[in-house]
A = this chain, B = another copy of it.
Amino acid sequence: MAESVETWTFAAERLFEFATRVFQHDGVPEADARQAADVLIASDLRGIDSHGVARLHLYHQMLDLGRFNPRPRISIVRETPATATVDGDNGMGLVVGPRANEIAMDKAEAAGAGWVAVRNTNHFGIAGYYPRQALKRDMIGWAMTNASKLMAPVWSSERMLGTNPIAIAFPAKHEPPIVIDMATSAVAYGKIEIALRKGVPIPKGWALDADGADTTDAERVANGGSLLPLGGDRDHGGHKGYCLASMVDILCGVLGGAGWGPFAPSFAVQQEPPVRAVGLGIGHFFGALRIDGFIDPDEFKTQVDDWIRVFRSAEPAPGTAGPVVPGDPEHFYFEMRSEEGIPLVQAVVDDLRELSRKTGVPLD
């Protein structure tokens, strides 16, 4: 974030339009294309540059190669009033995810709670996008997804789990909502890539080398090493991060019949396919809880405002400006970038220009 690199700024609407038309070029129907673009741009607007238009060329590549289904028939394969399993028909996660999340919210509308496991789907963008939708309906939203292997369990040197994020959001009244969106690894893989690019060491407790030794050398992580779970080593609670990543893997992978653990397929074309097919695609898990199923929503939101203000005013640690509330950094970026546009680094602009050439969709 503090890197001084040259950027080019685009209005969010411009990038949304571009992404929509690229998806349409690749055979995605207009409504789905707009939905997929909305998830991508939501990420850029909130400062999570790794999950936004920077990935558009990957989605294009997978669609172009016929690896993703541009017109999935998304179906409910099993359900009760408050639960369902959805088959994404190998559609983009950016399309399957929002549809499955809507099913969870519709079930919550009717029964109080709605929980949906999804199989046969693909990368769904930022997890935090989904619970934010629930806020509009006075619900608490949850989203999780599994992903291809990058993380080693405690006491292992082998990549066995994805960075398996958990997101949950709570509405407030006058304050911005509380939105949690976190990988269950100690850090995202993107932080290893940044260290690689800069040639700087990484802190101990982030990752292992191929032999399973804690390393500060990003190069050794990239060459067959693995990320550590949240907490790091056993002494610092790494078994808890491993527990959380396992929970996400079972809810997303096993429960809906998707791939799990080391057998979750990768998003990228150049990665090897899993050695065993234990299920279909990767898996997501969505939840929605109607707040008025527990408490008057206005009372809840007033208390959440109170909670936020109490936590913001906690005693600051030395040398800090004091605690922030989950969702604050994303909110800060959203306010700024909605006004000023989205800054993209050269490599991303190059990718988009290349996409523009290939598809004939104008970028500027």
Contacts and interface: CB of A to CB of B under 8 A. Distances in A.
Contact of A155 (B78, B231, B321): B321
Contacts of A307: 249-250, 254, 260-261
A213 interface: yes
Interface in A133-183: 140, 152-158, 160, 168, 170, 178, 180, 182-183
A231 B254 CA distance: 27
Interface in A310-341: 310-311, 314-318, 320-326
A295 interface: yes
A155 B244 CA distance: 24
A213 to B, nearest CB: 7
Interface residues of A, number: 92
A113 B323 contact: no
A317 B157 contact: yes
A25 B26 CA distance: 74
Nearest to A110: B81
Instruction: Kindly report how many copies of this chain are found in the complex they form together.
Output: 2
A183 to B, nearest CB: 8
A290 B81 CA distance: 11
A177 to B, nearest CB: 11
A330 to B, nearest CB: 12
Contact of A315 (B156, B170, B178, B310): B156
Interface in A284-319: 289-291, 293-295, 299-300, 303-304, 306-307, 310-311, 314-318
A261 B208 CA distance: 36
Contact of A153 (B115, B293, B323): B323
Given A155-B321, A182-B240, A186-B231, A315 B82 contact: no
A247 interface: yes
A80 B111 contact: yes
B317 A156 contact: yes
Given A156-B314, A156-B322, A318-B212, A232 B243 contact: no
Nearest to A256: B294
Contacts of A230: 230-231, 237, 240-241
A186 B242 CA distance: 13
Contacts of A279: 303
A182 to B, nearest CB: 4
A255 interface: yes
Given A168-B247, A311-B160, A81 B78 contact: no
A236 interface: yes
5 contacts: A81-B81, A83-B289, A140-B255, A160-B314, A186-B231
Interface of A: 78-85, 108, 111-115, 117, 140, 152-158, 160, 168, 170, 178, 180, 182-184, 186-187, 203, 205-206, 208, 211-213, 230-232, 235-237, 239-244, 246-247, 249-251, 254-257, 260-262, 278-279, 289-291, 293-295, 299-300, 303-304, 306-307, 310-311, 314-318, 320-326
